[in-house]
């Protein structure tokens, strides 16, 4: 039922949640890869520890979303170039615009999700206690 390459969200019996792309899945052990591909998560004793599994069927990797958006924009321009006399032209334009807006929302959501603050470099020094400041 759970196959390699599927995007799943796993809920454990202790209410912890985990999500990723399935690399392998058995009753004893499961391996999930993060969406960014930079880490693997290993679940030991899946049959005992996992309470629920949600399989996301229409998952699009974040790297594919910008490509999807550019393809939709190209289709939109192609449909816009068709003759105005086409009765289905407006409906196709509206559908493509909705899909492009959805792809833009996914891009923004991924950017917000992946936003990590960068640590600032601290500058340390010694205070100058020998100078007297006038109060004028």
pLDDT in tens, 36-76: 778 898 999 888 989 998 888 877 666 666 777 777 778 87
Residues 6+ apart with CB under 8 A from 62: 35, 36, 106, 107, 110, 114
Residues 69 and 45 in one domain: no
Spatial distance between the Cα atoms of 99 and 72, rounded to a whole number of angstroms:
7
Q: How confident is the model at residue 104 (pLDDT cuts 50, 70, 90)?
A: confident
Region of poorest pLDDT, from 22-36, 72-86, 107-121: 107-121
> Same domain, yes or no, for 43 and 74?
no
Evaluate whether residue 70 is within a structural domain. Answer: yes
Indicate whether 40 and 82 sit together in one domain: no
Residue 120 lies in a domain: no
More confident site: 122 or 12: 12
pLDDT at position 32 is 92
Rounded distance, CA 101 to CA 72, Å?
10
Give the pLDDT of residue 5. 86
For residue 97, pLDDT over 80 is answered with yes
Whether 103 is in a domain gets the answer yes
Is the domain of 102 the same as that of 68?
yes
What does the pLDDT read at residue 31? 92
CA distance 79 to 68: 16
* Domain interval for residue 87: 64-114
- Residues 62 and 108: their CA atoms lie apart, in Å, by 10
Which CATH number belongs to the domain containing residue 51 in this structure?
A: 2.30.30.100
């Amino acid at each position: 039922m759970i196959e390699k390459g599927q995007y799943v969200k796993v809920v454990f019996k202790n209410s912890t949640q985990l999500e990723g792309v399935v690399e392998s899945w058995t009753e004893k052990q499961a391996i999930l890869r993060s969406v960014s591909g930079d880490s693997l998560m290993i679940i030991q004793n899946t049959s005992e520890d996992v309470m629920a599994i949600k399989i996301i069927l229409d998952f699009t990797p974040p790297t594919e979303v910008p490509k999807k958006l550019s393809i939709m924009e190209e289709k939109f321009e192609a449909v816009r170039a068709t003759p105005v006399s086409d009765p289905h032209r407006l409906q196709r334009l509206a559908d493509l615009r909705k899909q492009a807006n959805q792809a833009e929302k996914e891009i923004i959501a991924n950017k917000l999700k992946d936003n990590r603050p960068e640590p600032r470099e601290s500058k340390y020094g010694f205070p100058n206690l020998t100078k007297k400041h006038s109060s004028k």
